[in-house]
Amino acid sequence: MSASLLDLVIRNARAATASDVFDTDIGIKDGRIVQLGRDLPRGSREIDAKGRVVTPGGVDAHCHLDQPSPPPVRMADDFDTGTISAVCGGTTTVIPFAAQQKGGSLRAAVEDYHRRADGIAHVDYAFHLIVSDPTPEVLNAELPALIREGYTSFKAYMTYDDLKLDDGQILDVLDVAKRHGAIAMLHAENSDCIEWLTQRLEAMGRSAPRFHAHSRPMLVEREATHRAIALAELVDVPILIVHVSGREAIEQIRWGRAHGLNIFAETCPQYLFLTAEDLGIDDSYHGAKCVCSPPPRDKANQEVIWNGLRDGLFSVFSSDHAPFKFDGPGGKHPNGEEVAFRHIPNGIPGLETRMPLLYSEGVLKGRISLEKFVELTATGPAKTYGIHPRKGAICIGADADLVIWDERELTIRNSALHHAVDYTPYEGMRLGAWPAFTLLRGEVLWDGTSCVGPRNQGRFIAAGRPSILPPAHLAAA
């Protein structure tokens, strides 16, 4: 290959994949990785990585952007602010949710969601579906067609009145996943237990944010996780349990696996770096900033999550970025009013901090290897949701979505983040690394201090059959 053929060469990279760490130059042409090796010919542009770690761009496979919410709640981030925030934190692909409204069509939700993303996303994106109303039309026509068109994952909720499905409906949805080659994600919390506990807390006047955690103890997650596993066993289909918060759900997943079931699992930064105390040790309203579901647990559960990250229980580490302002319209403190915990929008921001937090607290503190970091933040999610090896990989032919890491001390400040949320739950945390460069398809979008690259270049990626599923001919057998 002649020198002029490469658009960009990244020199002296310490490239990390989910299986290896190796020293290499990376040659990029037309947005893809085309050469790996030492002493590559000159490119039109060059970046000297000077022995820095280079990983695949992050794949954040669970984030909520511009997702319609029941009024007056409103998400702060749309595809513009959310994906700029992604870029600055080293994420180059996001997979948010096109959510069906009860009584509405799934197809309409997908079309609406495309309109929201089109032309304003700065990173590539695929969509999960949220199935909230599995009518015969949805099960027999819409879902199979959408799966064929590249929407090969969907989430079902076991709680939240506007979204939850009963067990029979979940079985129907799992059956579609099995027959048409999709992966079902389950939000596992027992809705009736939560409502029963919430009413009792309210009757006792316990409405401060910290009581959100009391209304959703680990047993409600444990029971629903076990039930989700049983439903998957009945249908004989793999599932993925999202945002696992601690020991009791993990025990159920280990139980399922010990019984030969294909149960996959995701966890999120809030279960490593926050505890229930962040929702308040007294009735202070500031704890509303950390209200999310399941709620963060305690230090002992954080250690259980770290173990699960190390030993392969988790294959996906996502932000579950659910961006609600603290002050301001549609947020957690609406018109300055301290609302009861049941009315606080659930979710916290985390798209931009997901990768640096896990790199700093995981890799640099020796809790996980660099290969495991790549598996959890990029390769695992890409495989799980059918976009690997185009995404989540450093290999010939992959999109040149890359992060060059700068190992330096810094402190998280919301004022330095790029989302449209007015706080971060991680304010003041010390980190040991941040992306020095983020590249999307060979273009530098972030240079360590500012967004420099071409904007609005994000493209929709139609997902294929998730590679974690059995091959189609075996699944059909």
**Complex with Zn ion: residue 288 or 292, whichever CB lies closer:** 292
Axis crossing angle, helix 191-203 with helix 218-235, rounded to the nearest 10: 160
Residues 175 to 214 in contact with Zn ion, rule: CB under 5 A? 187
The least CB distance from residue 351 to ligand URP, in Å, is 13
Distance CA 318, CA 75 (A): 18
The least CB distance from residue 403 to Zn ion, in Å, is 23
346 binds, among Zn ion, ligand URP, none (CB under 5 to 8 A by kind): ligand URP
Contact residues for ligand URP, defined by CB under 6 A: 64, 187, 243, 292-293, 320, 322, 346-347
Distance CA 327, CA 120 (A): 25
Distance CA 106, CA 99 (A): 7
**Complex with ligand URP: residue 222 or 243, whichever CB lies closer:** 243
Encoded tokens for 327 = 């002050």
Any idea which residue has 């998730």 for tokens? 466
**Complex with ligand URP: residue 137 or 166, whichever CB lies closer:** 166
274 binds, among Zn ion, ligand URP, none (CB under 5 to 8 A by kind): none
Burial of 175 (0-12, 13-18, 19+ CB in 10 A): middle
Q: What is the DSSP letter of 379?
A: I
252 binds, among ligand URP, Zn ion, none (CB under 5 to 8 A by kind): none
Nearest to 227 by CA among 153, 152, 156: 156
- Interface with Zn ion (CB under 5 A), residue total 2
Binding mask 311-340 for Zn ion (x = CB under 5 A): ---------x--------------------
**Complex with Zn ion: residue 278 or 320, whichever CB lies closer:** 320
**Complex with ligand URP: residue 35 or 67, whichever CB lies closer:** 67
> Helix, strand or coil for residue 14?
strand
What are the b/e assignments for 40-55, b being 16+ CB within 10 Å?
beebeeebebeebbbb
CB 301 within 8 A of CB 245: yes
**Complex with ligand URP: residue 218 or 370, whichever CB lies closer:** 218
The least CB distance from residue 452 to Zn ion, in Å, is 31
**Complex with ligand URP: residue 90 or 347, whichever CB lies closer:** 347
Distance CA 38, CA 203 (A): 69
The least CB distance from residue 275 to ligand URP, in Å, is 16
292 binds, among ligand URP, Zn ion, none (CB under 5 to 8 A by kind): ligand URP
The least CB distance from residue 432 to Zn ion, in Å, is 27
380 binds, among ligand URP, Zn ion, none (CB under 5 to 8 A by kind): none
388 binds, among ligand URP, Zn ion, none (CB under 5 to 8 A by kind): none
- The sheet with strand 97-99 has its strands ordered as 97-99, 128-130, 153-157, 183-187, 239-241, 263-267, 316-317
The least CB distance from residue 264 to ligand URP, in Å, is 16
Q: What is the DSSP letter of 471?
A: P
**Complex with Zn ion: residue 77 or 320, whichever CB lies closer:** 320
238 binds, among Zn ion, ligand URP, none (CB under 5 to 8 A by kind): none
CA separation, residue 178 to residues 95, 183, 476 (Å): 21, 8, 8
**In this chain, which residue has its C-beta nearest to Zn ion?**
187
The least CB distance from residue 338 to Zn ion, in Å, is 24
21: Cα within 13 Å, side-chain hemisphere:
13
Residues 399 to 438 in contact with Zn ion, rule: CB under 5 A? none
Encoded tokens for 142 = 């819409």
**Complex with ligand URP: residue 61 or 436, whichever CB lies closer:** 61
Binding site for Zn ion (CB under 5 A): 187, 320
